[in-house]
Amino acid sequence: MKVAIAQLNYHIGNFEGNLNKMLNAVSEAKTKGADIIVFGELSTCGYPPRDFLEFDDFIKRCEDSVSRLAEESHDIAIVVGSPTRNPVIEGKDLYNSAIFLYEGKIKQTQHKALLPTYDIFDEYRYFEPGTEFNIVEFKGQRIAMTVCEDIWNVGNENPLYVTCPLDEMKSQNPDFILNLSASPFSYDHAEDRIHVLKANVERYGLPMFYVNHSGAQTEVLFDGGSLVISPDGNIFDELVYFKEEIKVYDLSEVKKGGIHRVQAKEKIALIHDAIVTGIKDYFGKLGFKKAILGLSGGIDSAVTAALAAEALGAENVLAVLMPSKYSSGHSVSDAEQLAKNYGMPYKIIPIKGAYDAFMESLSEHFEGLPFNVTEENLQARSRGVILMGLSNKFGHILLNTSNKSEMAVGYGTLYGDMCGGLSVIGDVYKTDVFALAKYINKGKELIPINTIVKPPSAELRPNQKDSDSLPDYDILDEILFQYIEKTQGPKEIIAQGFDEELVKRILRLVNINEFKRYQTAPVLRVSSKAFGMGRRMPIVGKYLS
């Protein structure tokens, strides 16, 4: 038997586009002699469809796609992920299902049993968990179909669940396992995924074909990396990352075992590729063509510009240099040099006129009061107004350049440098921003070296440096990582050797600035815990405040 797996980049709600991708893949698989082709979880509609699932017409169009695929299933079996209706009154209206199509009809449907409701997942909001587990027989083979999370409770050891679907199917003596997934990217998830798949194969002694999505759905990124695991627990093959790919495998060869292709999983390279994919798909799927950003000469805007240029083409990224009287000369020259290195169009628009106009309007009300963060923020907001004006006039989408460290502690100005339609590096700590810059420069100096080596500064007052108000980033980022990603409280972090006063100050800054993060652009998710839909904190909570 030959099994084809189709790792595709779906578009939520784009039924015609998704269906055409799958029909083309079916055609290709047929020409390669495949007996069966497998698509990812909810591939008819894209993942995560969220509240689109509440529209009857949306579900009807998913059903229409399944019917159209069934028409092509006479010479090949097709396994597709799609929402299906729950025919009984009790429970949720829908299931998240894997549907086996052959000879023009639905031969079997297996409902997802384990519905993740954590981090970015909210599946129990929409779906009823499956409770029946049956293999499907096809051309002399007995196939266990599973959907994504269903393989993440090996041996019923995951405390989130009480059922292990493959344990339920084991007595039916399946010959191999199919898993239809939509497994979001984080830079450390690929290794976890491989570990879980291997654990399943070792437990059941069966080959597994795991099919993942690729591409981006706003902030949620999918890395692909679909896997074929042999019964000996070795990776028979691993598909490319962040690209579509269709491959056909001879089941008898897979059963023989061995390692055929495994990709390197270096953290910064993965983050780089993920962000480029995220920008490209955000613009492409929304029909946007051009981006705009403020280019300050600092490392955050430089890395953002570089990633955008790679994703969209440098000619489609407009850089705007907006010096103030506090901007150093090298800030402008560094920004100009980066734009020239990429062949990126740029404008220089000093903010003095806008800032002076604001100050004149407010002078009567500010009379006698000292210069403080208010005047600093007016500079940032002057820049925000200029960028949004250009964005509106020319139809460019503004890219936000704030990093995760800044977003965490509120080191950004609402309606100023926090403006934007997409937060490009909002899930990248400052220390990793530096690593990204070096990675981008690995073959050629595209980001000026001075941008990388100079002390970070917002340049909103004379001789300002980030270190005036924040600890060194290697210390700050580790405290933030322990609190945000590892959910460690102050006692646990202090016990690791960090200064008690510093820990309490940093954690307080994180909590009291939640209101800012509620108003920011969607953040491309590259870590296991990004700001946004996966981290839901109350604005008015008093914990550590």
DSSP annotation of 148: G
Categorize the per-residue pLDDT at 366 as very low, low, confident or very high, splitting at 50, 70 and 90: very high
Q: How far apart are CA 211 and CA 2, in angstroms?
A: 15
Helix (H, G, I), strand (E, B) or coil at 12: coil
Is residue 109 within a helix (H) or strand (E), and if so which, with residue range? strand 105-111
Q: Tokens standing for 88? A: 């009984």
- Just list the catalytic residues: 41, 112, 148
Q: Which residue has the tokens 């600890």?
A: 471
Q: Tokens standing for 247? A: 């491959």
* Amino acid sitting at position 172: Q
Categorize the per-residue pLDDT at 458 as very low, low, confident or very high, splitting at 50, 70 and 90: low
**This prediction's pTM:** 0.95
Is residue 197 within a helix (H) or strand (E), and if so which, with residue range? helix 189-204
pLDDT value of position 545: 52
* Amino acid sitting at position 6: A
Write the burial class of residue 120 (CB in 10 Å: 0-12 exposed, 13-18 middle, 19+ buried).
middle
Categorize the per-residue pLDDT at 23 as very low, low, confident or very high, splitting at 50, 70 and 90: very high
pLDDT of 493 higher than 90:
yes
Architecture of domain 270-466: 3-Layer(aba) Sandwich (3.40)
Q: Whose CA is closest to 167, among 159, 177, 529?
A: 177
pLDDT of 408 higher than 80:
yes
CA distances from 521 to 189, 321, 400, 425, 540 (A): 24, 21, 7, 11, 21
pLDDT value of position 305: 98
pLDDT of 413 higher than 80:
yes
The string of pLDDT tens digits covering residues 286-329 is 999 999 999 999 999 999 999 999 999 999 999 999 999 876 66
Residues 506-512: what's their mean pLDDT? Answer: 96
Q: Tokens standing for 500? A: 């008690």
DSSP annotation of 476: H
Q: Tokens standing for 424? A: 């490009």
Q: How far is CA 442 from the centre of its chain?
A: 24
Whether residue 454 contacts residue 467, with contact meaning beta carbons closer than 8 Å, is answered with: no
pLDDT value of position 261: 67
The string of pLDDT tens digits covering residues 32-47 is 999 999 999 999 999 9
* Rg from Cα positions in the chain: 26
Percent of the chain at pLDDT > 70 equals 97
Residues 437-456: what's their mean pLDDT? Answer: 93
Q: How far apart are CA 538 and CA 543, in angstroms?
A: 10
CA distances from 154 to 111, 163, 180, 203, 236 (A): 18, 10, 16, 8, 21
pLDDT value of position 459: 64
pLDDT value of position 325: 84
pLDDT of 468 higher than 80:
no
Whether residue 4 contacts residue 246, with contact meaning beta carbons closer than 8 Å, is answered with: yes
Q: Angle at which helices 15-31 and 56-71 pack, to 10 degrees?
A: 20
The string of pLDDT tens digits covering residues 342-362 is 999 999 999 999 999 999 999
Is residue 398 within a helix (H) or strand (E), and if so which, with residue range? strand 397-400
User: Where along the chain do its domains lie?
Assistant: 2-265, 270-466
Q: Tokens standing for 113? A: 């049993």
Residues 6 or more apart in contact with residue 9 via CB below 8 angstroms? 21, 213, 214, 215, 222, 244, 281
Q: Tokens standing for 58? A: 């949306």
- Give the CA dihedral 465, 467, 468, 470, nearest 10 degrees: 130
The string of pLDDT tens digits covering residues 373-391 is 999 999 999 999 999 999 9
CATH topology of domain 2-265: Nitrilase/N-carbamoyl-D-aminoacid amidohydrolase (3.60.110)
pLDDT value of position 12: 98
406 φ, ψ (degrees, to nearest 5): -65, -45
pLDDT mean across residues, the chain: 95
Categorize the per-residue pLDDT at 464 as very low, low, confident or very high, splitting at 50, 70 and 90: low
Helix (H, G, I), strand (E, B) or coil at 512: helix
Residues 473-500: what's their mean pLDDT? Answer: 97
Q: How far apart are CA 113 and CA 149, in angstroms?
A: 8
475 φ, ψ (degrees, to nearest 5): -80, -50
Residues 203-222: what's their mean pLDDT? Answer: 98
pLDDT of 465 higher than 90:
no
Q: How far apart are CA 359 and CA 351, in angstroms?
A: 12
pLDDT value of position 227: 97
Residues 516-543: what's their mean pLDDT? Answer: 93
